[in-house]
Amino acid sequence: MSMKTSNRQVDGVTIVDCSGRITLGEGSVILRDSVRELLGKGNKKILLNLGDVNYIDSSGIGELVSAYTTVKNQGGELKLLNLTKKVHDLLQITKLYTVFDVKDDEAAAVKSFSH
């Protein structure tokens, strides 16, 4: 299953609902383009909902890191929501779990962005 994204706006935060696989090739490119497009439109508060992402490889992890640093470097915030166990475990063993701001409740996550 390839990756798909759709965007929602909640209280000034763009929630990107992701589904499928974030892997080398199409999945990583879709995520990259999605984040770049949001930044281009001035949307710098981004919550990546990974609840339906069932697989991610090292390229996908790299793409998440790239998205995080790109948004941060432009003065924005990028947070992760609803990690599956697989993605959670991958971020744990790569020591990235503490780098990302990871949330498991959408409303609380939206409120956590600086307003």
Q: What is the C-alpha to C-alpha distance for residues 99 and 6, in angstroms, rounded to an integer?
A: 25
Report residue 19 as tokens: 């589904």
Which of 98, 114 has the CB closer to other proteins? 98
Show the tokens assigned to 50: 């990974």
Q: How many residues bind other proteins (CB under 8 A)?
A: 20
Sequence-separated (6 or more) residues with CB below 8 Å from residue 92: none
Distance CA 108, CA 111 (A): 5
Residues numbered 54 to 73 that lie near other proteins (CB under 8 A) are 57-59, 61-63, 65-66, 68-69
Least distance between other proteins and beta carbon 54 (Å): 10
Nearer to other proteins, 19 or 23 (CB): 23
Under rule CB under 8 A, residue 94 binds other proteins: yes
Applying the rule CB under 8 A, the residues between 14 and 33 that interact with other proteins are 23-25
